């Protein structure tokens, strides 16, 4: 995050999803030349409505396949599997390879995809998740995030980042029903959804293993005491869920004739949205949630255009999380009150660096540009200082306050756009616009996340991830303010007293001094009564409330301070890049920030800086392996969760 992109390559670019390809003819059937339904004659309006209904149900079937798999896994493992979208992507590529190189007919292709993805699901459960049994639930959640990094990067390395076309041997005909055109692909997706639901119902209702799955989902400990092989149940569920996800990826690839290595992230999010709508862990609810999500998106596209499709999905997610957290069919006991982060912070004695050593390290960092003038080194470390600001914002929220946030990149975006607009529209110098952007981010970020303060467990992580996506989509669609997809250009550089800070040395010192100031302030905060109260909230919210602690107030303070640090980092980045758009700060940055915090130690200020410097700087030493950067991040996160959850510097 500096004036060069060397430290922040976009090897995992945002992907709006194969679901949203412009190749979908249903996006353009009814409203190609009209702005609203009112311009159409009644019969045209009816046909258009049916068109979009069919489209919504077709896509809803895909969402249902994803959501059912997620619901099964949550039922037996109490886990939101963020690697599920990666399995979906692998299924699409396995199908593409079978059709392209083996020339297999469609039934054989589907069987190959189901078997390969089922085996992959078993491997995920056995290798990555089973060793974490008995740990707090945040551990396997983080493991699936790291695993998604690894799988997505492996797909990109093996198959290249270029999109692929998935050929289909289905007949090329369309069935006109009441003025609506339905093709064989529509019927195939509907048939796969219906048959899958019927087979799954029969499996859960009438087979011995299905009864074991239901027993484990209802009460894992009781099932274990009754002799149920819980590990075998988990493996079976991961196999079934992964097979359904892989088939969903294949069908989407055939429907849009397009697959992409980065399509997994949006697939995971849509599956999670559908599951939350229906009720987390509820299989029939997941099916209905997928259908409702598909219809909502399709009707939204009809009224407002394709760029709003994801916005409807995530707004719907926030509405259900805040006001209907049990979904349409979820049991009232589905919500677990475990704080998720507090019980995960591993008990350890943090490494306390002597004050003189910290001062000496800061002085050495300040003196470095005087010793060497290598621009590459200064640019890389500048990226590291800015990444450390982001890590500081997250370690306070997640490590100290116990609120796992997966939407920190949105705070960078708010800060970047706020500072850029203040500079462009009001002519404010960067020395004024950057701190002002930090304050704006603190206020706006806290306001956005406030409705989620009542949430617990996985729900707060899902809510912050959705809020981050909503911010990005608002930036994309609010063209009058943000410039939309074209973004903002001509952002003035950093300046001080009318003099541009355009040299590598000046930029380096500016970023480092800001980092030292915020790190010092955060250290004082954590040693104060406020810091102790935040840790009390993290460890036991019920006990903290019983002692008169206002949970919302202290969570708001944590998000506000974290938002200020992230907002300043985003503002500085905007002035260094001189250009912003909705993809500058993508969701992958939020996950990388979580990896930095885990590496350094949750709640540890010095650890956040060490983690950021390590993850940003060390890969630069091996430029020959730059394409493996995200793969390294994922492996690091997996190893940390498994072997050293307290991080390098220990938790505080």
Residues 339-352: tens digit of each pLDDT: 444 444 555 677 88
Residue 109 lies in a domain: yes
What is the pLDDT at residue 77?
84
For residues 320 and 407, membership in a common domain is answered with: no
Residue 419 lies in a domain: yes
180 three-state secondary structure: strand
Residue 329 lies in a domain: yes
* Alpha helices (H) along 337-374: 355-371
Q: What CATH code is carried by the domain that includes residue 194?
A: 1.10.3470
For residues 307 and 384, membership in a common domain is answered with: no
For residues 308 and 429, membership in a common domain is answered with: no
CA-CA distances (angstroms) from residue 279 to 90, 195, 312, 508?
27, 22, 18, 49
Residues 222-272: tens digit of each pLDDT: 888 888 898 999 999 999 999 999 999 999 999 888 899 888 988 998 999
Determine contact, residues 402/544, Cβ cutoff 8 Å: no
Report how far residue 313's alpha carbon sits from residue 224's, in angstroms, rounded to the nearest whole number: 38
Residue 48's contacts (CB-CB under 8 Å, 6 or more residues apart) are 29, 30, 31, 37, 40, 302
Report how far residue 182's alpha carbon sits from residue 176's, in angstroms, rounded to the nearest whole number: 6
Quote helix, strand, coil % in the chain, to nearest 5: 70, 0, 25
What is the pLDDT at residue 178?
64
What is the pLDDT at residue 335?
44
What is the pLDDT at residue 346?
55
Q: 622 pLDDT band (50/70/90 cuts)?
A: low
Residue reference for tokens 């602690």: 549
For residues 112 and 197, membership in a common domain is answered with: yes
Backbone angles phi, psi at 597, to 5 degrees: -65, -40
* Alpha helices (H) along 373-503: 375-394, 408-426, 430-449, 458-477, 479-482
Instruction: Select the more confidently predicted residue: 502 or 334.
Output: 502
For residues 475 and 572, membership in a common domain is answered with: yes
Q: In this model, does residue 433 exceed pLDDT 90?
A: yes
Average pLDDT of the residues of the chain? 84
Q: What is the number of other CB atoms lying within 10 angstroms of the CB of residue 196?
A: 20
What is the pLDDT at residue 592?
86
Instruction: Select the more confidently predicted residue: 137 or 396.
Output: 396
Single out the residue of 292, 286, 295, 269 nearest to residue 334, CA to CA.
Answer: 286
For residues 326 and 387, membership in a common domain is answered with: no
Pairing of strands 180-182, 488-489: unpaired
| 559, 587, 615 - which closes a domain | 587
CA-CA distances (angstroms) from residue 465 to 7, 338, 583?
24, 19, 15
| Mean pLDDT, residues 645-650 | 82
Ramachandran class of 484: left when φ > 0, alpha when ψ lies in -120 to 50, beta otherwise = left
Q: Which of 8-22, 91-105, 384-398, 572-586 has the weakest average pLDDT?
A: 8-22
For residues 282 and 383, membership in a common domain is answered with: no
For residues 500 and 378, membership in a common domain is answered with: yes
What is the pLDDT at residue 136?
67
For residues 382 and 328, membership in a common domain is answered with: no
What is the pLDDT at residue 393?
94
Residue 433 lies in a domain: yes
Most confident of 169-173, 379-383, 515-519, 577-581: 515-519
Residue 100 lies in a domain: yes
| Mean pLDDT, residues 511-530 | 93
CA-CA distances (angstroms) from residue 7 to 379, 404, 433, 612, 618?
8, 25, 25, 12, 10
Q: 34 pLDDT band (50/70/90 cuts)?
A: very low
Report how far residue 444's alpha carbon sits from residue 418's, in angstroms, rounded to the nearest whole number: 11
Determine contact, residues 238/216, Cβ cutoff 8 Å: no
Q: In this model, does residue 196 exceed pLDDT 60?
A: yes
Longest dimension (CA), the chain: 80
Number of domains in the chain: 2
- Give this prediction's pTM: 0.84
What is the pLDDT at residue 330?
65
What is the pLDDT at residue 52?
85
What is the pLDDT at residue 411?
95
Question: What is the H or E stretch that residue 495 is in?
Answer: strand 495-496
For residues 72 and 221, membership in a common domain is answered with: yes
For residues 575 and 460, membership in a common domain is answered with: yes
Q: Which of 384-393, 399-408, 605-614 has the weakest average pLDDT?
A: 399-408
36 three-state secondary structure: coil
CA angle 441-443-444, nearest 5°? Answer: 65
> How many alpha carbons lie under 13 Å from residue 61 in its C-beta half-sphere?
24
Q: 137 pLDDT band (50/70/90 cuts)?
A: low
Report how far residue 100's alpha carbon sits from residue 142's, in angstroms, rounded to the nearest whole number: 35
DSSP 39-51: GS-HHHHHHHHHH
CA 16 to chain centre: 13
What is the pLDDT at residue 321?
85
Q: In this model, does residue 162 exceed pLDDT 80?
A: yes
Residue 354 lies in a domain: no
Q: 46 pLDDT band (50/70/90 cuts)?
A: low
For residues 154 and 273, membership in a common domain is answered with: yes
| Mean pLDDT, residues 418-436 | 93
Q: Which of 280-284, 330-334, 642-646 has the weakest average pLDDT?
A: 330-334
Instruction: Select the more confidently predicted residue: 74 or 334.
Output: 74
Q: 115 pLDDT band (50/70/90 cuts)?
A: very high
Residue 480 lies in a domain: yes
Task: Convert 397-413 into a string of H (helix), E (strand) and C (coil).
Answer: HHHHCCCCCCCHHHHHH
488 three-state secondary structure: strand
| 542, 563, 587 - which closes a domain | 587
Sign for the CA dihedral angle at 306, 308, 313, 314 comes to positive
Range of the domain at 87: 35-334
| 553, 587, 621 - which closes a domain | 587
Q: What is the number of other CB atoms lying within 10 angstroms of the CB of residue 528?
A: 11
Residue 30 lies in a domain: no
**What does DSSP assign to residue 492?**
P
Q: 319 pLDDT band (50/70/90 cuts)?
A: confident
Instruction: Select the more confidently predicted residue: 155 or 39.
Output: 155
């Amino acid at each position: 995050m500096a004036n060069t992109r060397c430290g922040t390559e976009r090897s995992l670019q945002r992907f709006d999803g194969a679901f949203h390809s412009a190749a979908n003819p249903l996006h353009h059937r009814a409203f190609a030349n009209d702005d609203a339904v009112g311009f159409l004659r009644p019969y045209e309006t009816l046909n258009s409505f049916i068109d979009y209904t069919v489209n919504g149900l077709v896509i809803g079937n895909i969402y249902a396949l994803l959501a059912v798999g997620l619901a099964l896994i949550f039922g037996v493992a109490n886990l939101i599997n963020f690697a599920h979208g990666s399995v979906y992507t692998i299924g699409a590529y396995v199908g593409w390879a079978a059709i392209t190189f083996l020339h297999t007919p469609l039934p054989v292709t589907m069987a190959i995809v189901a078997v390969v993805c089922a085996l992959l699901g078993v491997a995920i459960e056995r290798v990555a998740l089973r060793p974490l049994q008995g740990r707090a639930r945040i551990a396997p959640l983080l493991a699936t995030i790291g695993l998604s990094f690894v799988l997505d990067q492996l797909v990109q390395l093996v198959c290249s980042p270029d999109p692929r076309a998935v050929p289909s041997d289905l007949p090329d005909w369309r069935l006109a029903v009441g003025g609506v055109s339905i093709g064989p692909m529509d019927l195939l997706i509907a048939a796969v959804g219906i048959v899958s639901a019927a087979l799954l119902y029969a499996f859960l209702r009438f087979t011995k293993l299905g009864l074991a799955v239901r027993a484990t989902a209802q009460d894992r400990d009781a099932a274990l005491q009754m002799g149920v092989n819980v590990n075998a149940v988990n493996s079976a569920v991961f196999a079934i869920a992964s097979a359904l996800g892989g088939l969903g990826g294949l069908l989407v690839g055939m429907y849009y004739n397009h697959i992409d290595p980065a399509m997994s992230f949006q697939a995971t999010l849509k599956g999670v949205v559908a599951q939350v709508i229906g009720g987390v862990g509820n299989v029939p609810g997941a099916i209905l949630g997928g259908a409702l999500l598909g219809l909502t998106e399709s009707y939204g596209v009809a009224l407002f255009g394709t760029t709003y499709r994801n916005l409807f999905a995530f707004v719907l997610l926030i509405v259900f999380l805040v006001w209907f957290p049990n979904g349409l069919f979820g049991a009232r006991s589905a919500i677990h009150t475990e704080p998720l982060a507090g019980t995960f912070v591993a008990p350890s004695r943090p490494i306390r660096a002597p004050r003189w050593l910290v001062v000496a390290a800061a002085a050495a960092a300040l003196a470095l540009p005087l010793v060497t003038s290598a621009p590459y080194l200064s640019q890389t470390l500048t990226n590291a200082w800015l990444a450390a600001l982001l890590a500081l914002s997250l370690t306070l929220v997640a490590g100290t306050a116990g609120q796992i946030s997966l939407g920190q990149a949105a705070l960078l975006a708010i800060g970047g756009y706020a500072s850029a607009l203040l500079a462009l529209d009001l002519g404010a110098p960067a020395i004024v616009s950057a701190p002002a952007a930090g304050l704006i981010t603190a206020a706006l970020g806290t306001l956005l996340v406030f409705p989620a303060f009542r949430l617990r467990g996985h729900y707060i992580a899902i809510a912050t991830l959705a809020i981050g996506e909503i911010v990005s989509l608002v930036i994309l669609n609010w063209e009058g303010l943000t410039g939309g997809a074209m973004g903002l250009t001509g952002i003035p550089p950093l300046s001080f007293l009318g003099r541009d800070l355009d040299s590598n040395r000046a930029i380096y010192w500016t970023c480092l001094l800001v980092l030292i100031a915020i790190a010092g302030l955060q250290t004082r905060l954590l040693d104060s009564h406020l810091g102790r109260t935040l840790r009390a909230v993290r460890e036991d919210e019920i006990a903290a409330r019983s002692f008169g602690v206002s949970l919302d107030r202290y969570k708001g303070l944590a998000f506000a301070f974290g938002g200020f640090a992230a907002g300043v980092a985003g503002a500085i980045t905007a002035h260094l890049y001189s250009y912003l758009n909705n993809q500058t700060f993508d969701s992958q940055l939020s996950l990388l920030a979580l990896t930095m915090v885990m590496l350094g130690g949750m709640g540890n200020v010095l650890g956040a800086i060490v983690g950021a410097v390590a993850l940003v700087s060390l890969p630069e030493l091996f430029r020959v392996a730059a394409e493996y950067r995200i793969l390294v991040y994922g492996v690091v996160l997996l190893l940390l969760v498994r072997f050293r959850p307290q991080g390098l510097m220990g938790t505080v």
